[in-house]
Amino acid sequence: MTFFLIGHDFKYETEATVKLFFPAMRFAFCTEDAPCAGDFIRTVFTEDRILVETSLSGVFRRQEVPLSPDGDKHAAEHALCRTLYAHLMEATGVTPPWGMLTGIRPVRMLTAAVEQGSTLEQAAAHMQQTYLVSEKKLALAKATARVQLPLLQGLAPDAISLYISIPFCPSRCSYCSFVSHSIAEAGELIPAYVDCLCREIRIYGDLIRTLHLKLDTVYIGGGTPTAISAQQLAQIMDTLQSSMHLDGIREYTVEAGRADTITREKLEVIRRYGADRISINPQTLNDAVLRAIGRKHTAQQAVDAFLLARSMGFDNINMDLIAGLPQDTPDSFRNTLDRVIALEPESVTVHTLTLKRAADLYAQGERQIANPAAAMVDYSSSRLPVQGYQPYYLYRQKNTLENLENVGYAKPGYESLYNILIMDETQTIFGAGCGASTKLVCPEGKITRIRNYKFPYEYIGQFDALMEKKEQIRRIMEGADYGV
Protein backbone atom coordinates (compact mmCIF):
# COMPACT_ATOMS: atom_id res chain seq x y z
CA MET A 1 0.00 0.00 0.00
CA THR A 2 1.20 3.53 -0.79
CA PHE A 3 1.18 5.99 2.11
CA PHE A 4 1.36 9.66 1.08
CA LEU A 5 2.75 12.18 3.58
CA ILE A 6 2.18 15.59 1.98
CA GLY A 7 3.13 18.86 3.65
CA HIS A 8 4.17 17.39 7.00
CA ASP A 9 6.90 15.34 8.67
CA PHE A 10 4.66 13.39 11.05
CA LYS A 11 5.67 10.01 9.65
CA TYR A 12 6.27 8.20 12.95
CA GLU A 13 2.93 8.95 14.60
CA THR A 14 0.82 8.72 11.45
CA GLU A 15 2.36 5.36 10.56
CA ALA A 16 1.76 4.16 14.13
CA THR A 17 -1.87 5.24 13.82
CA VAL A 18 -2.31 3.34 10.55
CA LYS A 19 -0.65 0.27 12.11
CA LEU A 20 -3.51 0.16 14.61
CA PHE A 21 -5.69 -0.92 11.70
CA PHE A 22 -3.14 -2.69 9.47
CA PRO A 23 -0.54 -4.20 11.86
CA ALA A 24 1.20 -6.44 9.34
CA MET A 25 0.92 -4.15 6.31
CA ARG A 26 4.03 -2.94 4.48
CA PHE A 27 3.94 0.61 3.09
CA ALA A 28 5.65 2.49 0.30
CA PHE A 29 6.03 6.06 1.57
CA CYS A 30 5.75 9.03 -0.76
CA THR A 31 6.20 12.71 0.12
CA GLU A 32 5.16 14.08 -3.29
CA ASP A 33 1.59 13.99 -4.49
CA ALA A 34 1.01 11.81 -7.52
CA PRO A 35 -1.68 9.57 -9.03
CA CYS A 36 -1.74 6.14 -7.43
CA ALA A 37 -3.17 2.87 -8.68
CA GLY A 38 -4.36 0.38 -6.09
CA ASP A 39 -4.83 0.91 -2.37
CA PHE A 40 -3.45 4.07 -0.82
CA ILE A 41 -3.68 6.40 2.17
CA ARG A 42 -3.07 10.10 1.54
CA THR A 43 -2.54 12.61 4.35
CA VAL A 44 -2.22 16.26 3.36
CA PHE A 45 -1.33 19.04 5.78
CA THR A 46 -1.78 22.73 4.89
CA GLU A 47 -1.75 25.90 6.97
CA ASP A 48 -5.46 25.78 7.70
CA ARG A 49 -6.69 22.24 7.10
CA ILE A 50 -6.05 18.50 7.17
CA LEU A 51 -7.07 16.22 4.34
CA VAL A 52 -7.26 12.43 4.62
CA GLU A 53 -8.07 10.27 1.61
CA THR A 54 -8.10 6.50 1.33
CA SER A 55 -8.70 4.04 -1.42
CA LEU A 56 -9.20 0.61 0.12
CA SER A 57 -10.50 -2.39 -1.82
CA GLY A 58 -11.86 -0.09 -4.50
CA VAL A 59 -13.75 2.21 -2.09
CA PHE A 60 -12.62 5.85 -2.04
CA ARG A 61 -13.16 8.02 1.02
CA ARG A 62 -12.24 11.63 1.74
CA GLN A 63 -12.31 13.62 4.99
CA GLU A 64 -11.32 17.26 5.47
CA VAL A 65 -10.96 19.01 8.85
CA PRO A 66 -10.10 22.66 9.63
CA LEU A 67 -6.88 23.19 11.56
CA SER A 68 -6.46 25.47 14.58
CA PRO A 69 -4.53 28.65 13.64
CA ASP A 70 -2.40 28.73 16.83
CA GLY A 71 0.56 26.99 15.15
CA ASP A 72 1.12 24.41 17.93
CA LYS A 73 3.00 21.58 16.20
CA HIS A 74 2.07 18.95 18.79
CA ALA A 75 -1.61 19.91 18.58
CA ALA A 76 -1.42 19.80 14.78
CA GLU A 77 0.13 16.33 14.85
CA HIS A 78 -2.55 15.10 17.25
CA ALA A 79 -5.30 16.61 15.08
CA LEU A 80 -3.90 14.88 11.99
CA CYS A 81 -3.67 11.53 13.76
CA ARG A 82 -7.15 11.90 15.22
CA THR A 83 -8.57 12.68 11.78
CA LEU A 84 -6.72 9.73 10.27
CA TYR A 85 -7.88 7.50 13.11
CA ALA A 86 -11.55 8.44 12.71
CA HIS A 87 -11.31 8.00 8.96
CA LEU A 88 -9.74 4.54 9.16
CA MET A 89 -12.14 3.42 11.86
CA GLU A 90 -15.02 4.23 9.49
CA ALA A 91 -13.26 2.67 6.51
CA THR A 92 -12.31 -0.60 8.22
CA GLY A 93 -15.02 -1.05 10.84
CA VAL A 94 -12.25 -1.66 13.40
CA THR A 95 -12.33 0.04 16.82
CA PRO A 96 -8.92 -0.32 18.51
CA PRO A 97 -9.41 -1.12 22.21
CA TRP A 98 -6.69 1.31 23.28
CA GLY A 99 -8.05 4.00 20.98
CA MET A 100 -5.39 6.25 19.47
CA LEU A 101 -2.74 5.32 22.02
CA THR A 102 0.40 4.09 20.31
CA GLY A 103 2.89 4.39 23.17
CA ILE A 104 4.08 1.39 25.14
CA ARG A 105 3.44 2.83 28.64
CA PRO A 106 -0.21 3.88 29.05
CA VAL A 107 -0.10 3.39 32.83
CA ARG A 108 2.83 5.79 33.08
CA MET A 109 0.57 8.49 31.62
CA LEU A 110 -1.73 8.01 34.61
CA THR A 111 0.91 7.76 37.34
CA ALA A 112 2.76 10.80 35.98
CA ALA A 113 -0.43 12.86 36.04
CA VAL A 114 -1.10 11.78 39.64
CA GLU A 115 2.46 12.74 40.61
CA GLN A 116 1.77 16.19 39.14
CA GLY A 117 -1.34 16.69 41.25
CA SER A 118 -4.23 15.13 39.35
CA THR A 119 -6.45 12.48 40.84
CA LEU A 120 -6.42 9.10 39.19
CA GLU A 121 -9.98 9.65 37.98
CA GLN A 122 -9.05 13.00 36.43
CA ALA A 123 -6.03 11.46 34.70
CA ALA A 124 -8.14 8.60 33.36
CA ALA A 125 -10.85 10.95 32.08
CA HIS A 126 -8.22 13.01 30.25
CA MET A 127 -6.74 9.84 28.70
CA GLN A 128 -10.14 8.69 27.48
CA GLN A 129 -11.13 12.07 26.09
CA THR A 130 -7.80 12.65 24.34
CA TYR A 131 -7.08 9.15 23.05
CA LEU A 132 -10.53 7.52 22.87
CA VAL A 133 -9.52 4.54 25.01
CA SER A 134 -12.26 1.94 25.58
CA GLU A 135 -13.89 1.61 29.00
CA LYS A 136 -12.46 -1.89 29.42
CA LYS A 137 -8.85 -0.88 28.79
CA LEU A 138 -9.22 2.29 30.81
CA ALA A 139 -10.38 0.20 33.78
CA LEU A 140 -7.36 -2.09 33.33
CA ALA A 141 -4.95 0.86 33.24
CA LYS A 142 -6.54 2.39 36.34
CA ALA A 143 -6.40 -0.89 38.27
CA THR A 144 -2.72 -1.26 37.38
CA ALA A 145 -1.96 2.31 38.41
CA ARG A 146 -3.66 1.80 41.79
CA VAL A 147 -1.28 -1.07 42.53
CA GLN A 148 1.78 0.78 41.26
CA LEU A 149 1.35 4.15 42.93
CA PRO A 150 2.07 3.04 46.53
CA LEU A 151 5.05 0.98 45.35
CA LEU A 152 6.54 3.97 43.52
CA GLN A 153 6.31 6.34 46.47
CA GLY A 154 9.49 7.21 48.27
CA LEU A 155 12.02 5.78 45.81
CA ALA A 156 15.49 6.61 47.13
CA PRO A 157 17.27 9.07 44.79
CA ASP A 158 20.51 7.09 45.04
CA ALA A 159 18.92 3.69 44.29
CA ILE A 160 19.57 1.90 40.99
CA SER A 161 18.68 -1.47 39.50
CA LEU A 162 20.80 -3.90 37.51
CA TYR A 163 19.83 -6.00 34.49
CA ILE A 164 22.12 -8.84 33.43
CA SER A 165 21.65 -10.31 29.94
CA ILE A 166 22.34 -13.96 29.13
CA PRO A 167 21.29 -14.07 25.45
CA PHE A 168 21.30 -17.83 24.83
CA CYS A 169 18.49 -20.35 24.43
CA PRO A 170 18.39 -24.08 23.69
CA SER A 171 16.52 -23.18 20.48
CA ARG A 172 14.88 -20.05 19.07
CA CYS A 173 11.10 -19.80 19.40
CA SER A 174 9.27 -18.72 16.26
CA TYR A 175 7.72 -15.67 17.95
CA CYS A 176 10.98 -14.42 19.49
CA SER A 177 12.44 -11.06 18.49
CA PHE A 178 14.93 -10.72 21.36
CA VAL A 179 18.67 -10.79 20.88
CA SER A 180 18.99 -14.48 21.69
CA HIS A 181 21.02 -17.24 20.12
CA SER A 182 20.60 -20.99 20.12
CA ILE A 183 23.20 -23.06 21.91
CA ALA A 184 23.80 -24.96 18.67
CA GLU A 185 24.71 -21.73 16.84
CA ALA A 186 26.59 -19.84 19.53
CA GLY A 187 27.49 -22.36 22.25
CA GLU A 188 31.21 -22.00 21.67
CA LEU A 189 30.97 -18.29 22.55
CA ILE A 190 29.45 -18.87 25.98
CA PRO A 191 32.67 -19.30 28.08
CA ALA A 192 34.21 -16.09 26.69
CA TYR A 193 30.87 -14.30 27.00
CA VAL A 194 30.51 -15.27 30.66
CA ASP A 195 34.06 -14.08 31.37
CA CYS A 196 33.36 -10.69 29.76
CA LEU A 197 30.01 -10.39 31.51
CA CYS A 198 31.70 -10.98 34.87
CA ARG A 199 34.24 -8.27 34.05
CA GLU A 200 31.42 -5.85 33.27
CA ILE A 201 29.64 -6.72 36.52
CA ARG A 202 32.83 -5.95 38.47
CA ILE A 203 33.15 -2.61 36.64
CA TYR A 204 29.58 -1.75 37.60
CA GLY A 205 30.36 -2.71 41.19
CA ASP A 206 33.24 -0.21 41.23
CA LEU A 207 31.02 2.42 39.66
CA ILE A 208 28.26 1.93 42.23
CA ARG A 209 30.73 2.27 45.09
CA THR A 210 32.44 5.32 43.56
CA LEU A 211 29.13 7.11 43.03
CA HIS A 212 27.77 6.06 46.44
CA LEU A 213 24.74 4.38 44.88
CA LYS A 214 22.57 1.65 46.36
CA LEU A 215 21.50 -1.46 44.48
CA ASP A 216 17.71 -1.83 44.67
CA THR A 217 16.76 -4.75 42.37
CA VAL A 218 18.61 -7.27 40.21
CA TYR A 219 17.13 -9.04 37.18
CA ILE A 220 18.98 -11.78 35.29
CA GLY A 221 17.20 -12.29 31.98
CA GLY A 222 17.83 -13.28 28.40
CA GLY A 223 17.43 -15.34 26.33
CA THR A 224 17.19 -18.08 28.87
CA PRO A 225 19.70 -17.69 31.70
CA THR A 226 19.38 -21.37 32.62
CA ALA A 227 20.46 -22.33 29.10
CA ILE A 228 24.07 -22.03 30.29
CA SER A 229 25.62 -24.57 32.66
CA ALA A 230 25.17 -24.52 36.42
CA GLN A 231 28.87 -23.73 36.77
CA GLN A 232 28.63 -20.75 34.41
CA LEU A 233 25.52 -19.47 36.17
CA ALA A 234 27.36 -19.81 39.50
CA GLN A 235 30.31 -17.87 38.08
CA ILE A 236 28.04 -14.95 37.17
CA MET A 237 26.11 -14.94 40.43
CA ASP A 238 29.29 -15.33 42.50
CA THR A 239 30.83 -12.36 40.70
CA LEU A 240 27.73 -10.32 41.43
CA GLN A 241 27.81 -11.30 45.10
CA SER A 242 31.48 -10.43 45.49
CA SER A 243 31.24 -7.15 43.53
CA MET A 244 28.16 -5.54 45.05
CA HIS A 245 26.31 -5.26 48.34
CA LEU A 246 23.24 -7.45 47.96
CA ASP A 247 22.04 -7.42 51.57
CA GLY A 248 19.81 -4.39 51.11
CA ILE A 249 18.25 -5.19 47.74
CA ARG A 250 14.48 -5.51 47.59
CA GLU A 251 14.26 -8.03 44.76
CA TYR A 252 16.55 -10.49 42.97
CA THR A 253 15.05 -12.28 39.97
CA VAL A 254 16.45 -15.00 37.73
CA GLU A 255 14.46 -16.04 34.68
CA ALA A 256 14.68 -19.81 34.86
CA GLY A 257 12.66 -19.71 31.65
CA ARG A 258 12.21 -22.84 29.60
CA ALA A 259 11.51 -26.19 31.19
CA ASP A 260 14.12 -27.96 29.04
CA THR A 261 16.86 -25.91 30.74
CA ILE A 262 15.77 -26.21 34.37
CA THR A 263 17.62 -28.71 36.56
CA ARG A 264 17.92 -29.24 40.28
CA GLU A 265 21.59 -28.25 40.09
CA LYS A 266 20.81 -24.89 38.48
CA LEU A 267 17.99 -24.16 40.91
CA GLU A 268 20.37 -24.94 43.78
CA VAL A 269 22.80 -22.36 42.37
CA ILE A 270 20.04 -19.76 42.16
CA ARG A 271 18.98 -20.37 45.77
CA ARG A 272 22.55 -20.49 47.08
CA TYR A 273 23.31 -17.03 45.75
CA GLY A 274 20.19 -15.44 47.17
CA ALA A 275 17.80 -14.88 44.26
CA ASP A 276 14.32 -14.69 45.77
CA ARG A 277 12.20 -14.67 42.60
CA ILE A 278 12.27 -16.90 39.53
CA SER A 279 10.22 -17.09 36.37
CA ILE A 280 9.25 -20.40 34.77
CA ASN A 281 7.71 -19.65 31.39
CA PRO A 282 5.72 -22.37 29.64
CA GLN A 283 3.96 -19.83 27.32
CA THR A 284 1.35 -22.57 26.77
CA LEU A 285 0.49 -25.96 28.22
CA ASN A 286 -0.67 -27.32 24.86
CA ASP A 287 1.91 -29.71 23.41
CA ALA A 288 0.81 -29.09 19.82
CA VAL A 289 1.26 -25.34 20.26
CA LEU A 290 4.65 -25.87 21.92
CA ARG A 291 5.77 -27.84 18.85
CA ALA A 292 4.37 -25.18 16.51
CA ILE A 293 6.46 -22.42 18.13
CA GLY A 294 9.66 -24.46 18.20
CA ARG A 295 9.76 -25.39 21.87
CA LYS A 296 11.63 -28.61 22.64
CA HIS A 297 9.80 -29.50 25.84
CA THR A 298 6.33 -30.72 26.79
CA ALA A 299 3.65 -29.14 28.92
CA GLN A 300 4.24 -31.74 31.61
CA GLN A 301 7.92 -30.85 31.75
CA ALA A 302 6.94 -27.24 32.47
CA VAL A 303 4.62 -28.36 35.27
CA ASP A 304 7.34 -30.66 36.65
CA ALA A 305 9.87 -27.81 36.59
CA PHE A 306 7.48 -25.66 38.61
CA LEU A 307 6.85 -28.43 41.14
CA LEU A 308 10.61 -29.07 41.46
CA ALA A 309 11.25 -25.39 42.19
CA ARG A 310 8.42 -25.31 44.73
CA SER A 311 9.75 -28.43 46.47
CA MET A 312 13.15 -26.73 46.80
CA GLY A 313 11.67 -23.79 48.67
CA PHE A 314 11.10 -21.18 45.96
CA ASP A 315 8.15 -19.17 47.21
CA ASN A 316 8.00 -16.40 44.59
CA ILE A 317 7.52 -17.91 41.14
CA ASN A 318 6.19 -16.17 38.05
CA MET A 319 4.82 -17.98 35.00
CA ASP A 320 4.59 -16.39 31.53
CA LEU A 321 1.88 -17.17 28.99
CA ILE A 322 1.30 -15.86 25.45
CA ALA A 323 -2.15 -15.26 23.99
CA GLY A 324 -2.48 -15.73 20.24
CA LEU A 325 0.18 -18.35 19.55
CA PRO A 326 -0.16 -20.30 16.30
CA GLN A 327 -2.54 -23.26 16.52
CA ASP A 328 -3.81 -22.11 19.91
CA THR A 329 -7.54 -21.61 20.46
CA PRO A 330 -9.56 -19.82 23.14
CA ASP A 331 -10.51 -23.17 24.69
CA SER A 332 -6.89 -24.34 24.69
CA PHE A 333 -5.73 -21.06 26.22
CA ARG A 334 -8.40 -21.24 28.91
CA ASN A 335 -7.22 -24.75 29.75
CA THR A 336 -3.62 -23.51 29.99
CA LEU A 337 -4.51 -20.62 32.26
CA ASP A 338 -6.69 -22.78 34.51
CA ARG A 339 -3.88 -25.33 34.90
CA VAL A 340 -1.40 -22.56 35.70
CA ILE A 341 -3.74 -21.04 38.30
CA ALA A 342 -4.11 -24.49 39.89
CA LEU A 343 -0.34 -24.51 40.46
CA GLU A 344 -0.72 -21.26 42.46
CA PRO A 345 2.29 -19.29 41.26
CA GLU A 346 2.73 -15.95 42.94
CA SER A 347 2.42 -14.08 39.64
CA VAL A 348 1.29 -14.74 36.08
CA THR A 349 2.27 -12.60 33.11
CA VAL A 350 -0.01 -12.72 30.08
CA HIS A 351 1.63 -11.48 26.89
CA THR A 352 -0.12 -11.00 23.58
CA LEU A 353 1.68 -12.31 20.50
CA THR A 354 3.57 -9.53 18.75
CA LEU A 355 4.65 -9.81 15.12
CA LYS A 356 8.17 -8.40 15.28
CA ARG A 357 10.29 -8.20 12.13
CA ALA A 358 13.09 -10.17 13.81
CA ALA A 359 10.73 -13.07 14.59
CA ASP A 360 10.15 -15.97 12.21
CA LEU A 361 6.39 -15.51 12.52
CA TYR A 362 6.51 -12.00 11.05
CA ALA A 363 6.51 -13.42 7.53
CA GLN A 364 3.17 -15.08 8.36
CA GLY A 365 1.70 -11.84 9.68
CA GLU A 366 -1.53 -11.80 7.70
CA ARG A 367 -2.36 -15.36 8.77
CA GLN A 368 -1.51 -14.71 12.42
CA ILE A 369 -3.78 -11.67 12.67
CA ALA A 370 -6.83 -13.94 12.47
CA ASN A 371 -5.84 -15.65 15.73
CA PRO A 372 -8.49 -14.78 18.38
CA ALA A 373 -6.11 -13.33 20.96
CA ALA A 374 -8.73 -10.93 22.34
CA ALA A 375 -10.87 -13.79 23.67
CA MET A 376 -7.81 -15.19 25.43
CA VAL A 377 -6.81 -11.84 26.92
CA ASP A 378 -10.39 -11.19 28.05
CA TYR A 379 -10.48 -14.55 29.82
CA SER A 380 -7.23 -13.84 31.68
CA SER A 381 -8.35 -10.35 32.73
CA SER A 382 -11.58 -11.73 34.19
CA ARG A 383 -10.29 -15.02 35.64
CA LEU A 384 -7.06 -13.94 37.32
CA PRO A 385 -8.52 -11.18 39.56
CA VAL A 386 -11.16 -13.62 40.82
CA GLN A 387 -8.28 -15.88 41.92
CA GLY A 388 -6.57 -13.09 43.84
CA TYR A 389 -4.19 -11.81 41.15
CA GLN A 390 -4.24 -8.08 40.42
CA PRO A 391 -2.66 -6.31 37.40
CA TYR A 392 0.52 -4.58 38.54
CA TYR A 393 2.37 -3.72 35.35
CA LEU A 394 1.33 -3.28 31.76
CA TYR A 395 2.99 -2.42 28.49
CA ARG A 396 2.17 -2.42 24.81
CA GLN A 397 4.22 -3.13 21.68
CA LYS A 398 3.94 -2.35 18.02
CA ASN A 399 2.36 -5.01 15.82
CA THR A 400 0.63 -6.75 18.73
CA LEU A 401 -2.34 -8.85 17.68
CA GLU A 402 -5.63 -6.93 17.89
CA ASN A 403 -3.82 -3.91 19.39
CA LEU A 404 -3.74 -5.60 22.78
CA GLU A 405 -1.27 -5.52 25.67
CA ASN A 406 1.01 -7.46 28.00
CA VAL A 407 -0.02 -7.56 31.65
CA GLY A 408 1.66 -8.84 34.78
CA TYR A 409 -0.75 -10.11 37.44
CA ALA A 410 0.40 -10.82 40.99
CA LYS A 411 -0.92 -11.75 44.38
CA PRO A 412 -0.61 -8.84 46.84
CA GLY A 413 2.98 -8.41 47.98
CA TYR A 414 4.46 -10.35 45.04
CA GLU A 415 4.56 -7.59 42.44
CA SER A 416 7.91 -7.45 40.60
CA LEU A 417 9.48 -4.12 41.46
CA TYR A 418 11.91 -4.39 38.55
CA ASN A 419 9.07 -4.81 36.06
CA ILE A 420 7.31 -1.76 37.47
CA LEU A 421 10.48 0.35 37.50
CA ILE A 422 11.50 -0.43 33.93
CA MET A 423 8.04 0.53 32.66
CA ASP A 424 7.66 3.59 34.90
CA GLU A 425 11.12 4.93 33.96
CA THR A 426 11.69 6.59 37.33
CA GLN A 427 14.84 4.74 38.38
CA THR A 428 18.25 4.32 36.75
CA ILE A 429 18.86 0.79 35.48
CA PHE A 430 22.36 -0.40 34.57
CA GLY A 431 22.45 -2.99 31.78
CA ALA A 432 25.18 -5.64 31.60
CA GLY A 433 25.74 -8.02 28.70
CA CYS A 434 25.06 -7.92 25.00
CA GLY A 435 21.82 -6.32 23.91
CA ALA A 436 21.46 -4.68 27.34
CA SER A 437 20.63 -1.00 27.63
CA THR A 438 21.59 1.29 30.49
CA LYS A 439 18.87 3.83 31.28
CA LEU A 440 20.06 6.82 33.30
CA VAL A 441 17.19 8.71 34.93
CA CYS A 442 18.41 12.04 36.26
CA PRO A 443 16.54 13.82 39.10
CA GLU A 444 15.11 16.44 36.73
CA GLY A 445 13.58 13.63 34.66
CA LYS A 446 15.97 13.53 31.72
CA ILE A 447 16.63 9.98 30.48
CA THR A 448 19.84 8.95 28.73
CA ARG A 449 20.15 5.51 27.14
CA ILE A 450 23.53 3.86 26.58
CA ARG A 451 23.38 0.58 24.69
CA ASN A 452 25.75 -2.35 24.67
CA TYR A 453 26.62 -4.19 21.47
CA LYS A 454 23.77 -6.29 20.16
CA PHE A 455 25.50 -9.59 19.39
CA PRO A 456 27.77 -11.82 21.54
CA TYR A 457 30.67 -11.80 19.07
CA GLU A 458 30.63 -7.97 19.06
CA TYR A 459 30.38 -7.84 22.83
CA ILE A 460 33.35 -10.19 23.24
CA GLY A 461 35.49 -8.83 20.40
CA GLN A 462 35.04 -5.14 21.25
CA PHE A 463 34.66 -5.46 25.00
CA ASP A 464 37.37 -2.95 25.95
CA ALA A 465 35.91 -0.28 23.67
CA LEU A 466 32.47 -0.97 25.05
CA MET A 467 33.64 -0.52 28.61
CA GLU A 468 34.75 3.01 27.78
CA LYS A 469 31.04 3.82 27.80
CA LYS A 470 31.10 3.28 31.57
CA GLU A 471 33.05 6.53 31.79
CA GLN A 472 30.15 8.21 30.01
CA ILE A 473 27.83 6.81 32.68
CA ARG A 474 30.14 8.09 35.41
CA ARG A 475 30.31 11.60 33.92
CA ILE A 476 26.54 11.87 33.50
CA MET A 477 25.79 10.68 37.02
CA GLU A 478 28.51 12.78 38.62
CA GLY A 479 27.05 15.82 36.89
CA ALA A 480 23.53 15.15 38.19
CA ASP A 481 22.34 16.15 41.65
CA TYR A 482 21.05 12.92 43.20
CA GLY A 483 21.07 14.36 46.68
CA VAL A 484 23.74 11.92 47.88
Structure confidence at residue 399 (pLDDT): 77
Confidence of residue 174 (pLDDT cuts 50, 70, 90): low
Choose the weakest-confidence range: 164-173, 225-234, 295-304, 451-460: 164-173
State pLDDT tens for residues 53-83.
999 988 999 999 898 887 788 889 999 999 9
Rg (CA), the chain: 23
Band (358; pLDDT cuts 50, 70, 90): very low
Beta bridge partners of 220: 164, 254
Residue 484 forms part of a structural domain = no
pLDDT of residue 372: 85
Question: Predicted confidence band at 466 (pLDDT cuts at 50, 70, 90)?
Answer: confident
Rounded to 10 degrees, the C-alpha dihedral 431/275/217/163 comes to 10
More confident residue, 22 or 132: 132
Q: Do 140 and 86 reside in the same domain of the chain? A: no
What is the structure's pLDDT at 356?
A: 53
- One domain for residues 112 and 40: no
113-127 per-position pLDDT tens digit: 999 999 999 999 999
For residues 283 and 272, membership in a common domain is answered with yes
pLDDT above 70 coverage of the chain, percent: 92
pLDDT bracket for residue 452 (50, 70, 90) = very high
Please state, in angstroms and rounded to a whole number, the distance separating the CA atoms of residues 93 and 21.
Answer: 9
pLDDT of residue 368: 46
Domain housing 14:
2-92
Average pLDDT, the chain: 90
The answer on 245 and 230 residing in a single domain is yes
Q: Is residue 258 predicted with pLDDT exceeding 50?
A: yes
Return the pLDDT at 363. Answer: 46
Same domain assignment for residues 205 and 173: yes
Region 398-414: mean pLDDT is 91
* Residues 236, 311 within the same domain: yes
Give the CATH number for residue 82: 3.30.160
% of the chain exceeding 90 in pLDDT = 74
The pLDDT score that the predictor gives to residue 371 is 63
Q: How far apart are CA 439 and CA 332, in angstroms?
A: 39
Q: Is residue 235 predicted with pLDDT exceeding 70?
A: yes
What pLDDT score does 26 carry?
A: 84
Of 54, 69, 92, which residue is a domain's last?
92
Average pLDDT over residues 412-431: 96
Q: Is residue 171 part of a domain?
A: yes
Residues 321 and 300 in one domain: yes
Q: What's residue 183's pLDDT?
A: 66
166 domain-assigned: yes
Residue 481 inside a domain? The answer is no
Position 459 pLDDT exceeds 90: yes
Whether 477 is in a domain gets the answer no
Asked if residue 161 and residue 145 are part of one domain, the reply reads no
Tell me, yes or no, whether 183 and 144 share the same domain: no
Higher-pLDDT residue of 147 and 177 is 147
Residue 476: inside a domain, yes or no?
no
**Are residues 293 and 439 located together in one domain of the fold?**
yes
Cα of first residue to Cα of last residue in the chain, in angstroms, is 55
Which of the four pLDDT bands, split at 50, 70 and 90, describes residue 482? low
Global confidence as pTM: 0.91
Is 483 domain-assigned? Answer: no
Check whether residue 48 and residue 193 sit in a common domain: no
Identify the weakest region by mean pLDDT among 282-286, 357-361, 431-435.
Answer: 357-361
Q: Region 446-456: what's the mean pLDDT?
A: 92
Residues 53 and 131 occupy one common structural domain: no
Domain count, the chain: 3
What is the CATH classification number for the domain harbouring 271? 3.80.30.20
Domain membership of residue 131 (yes or no) is yes
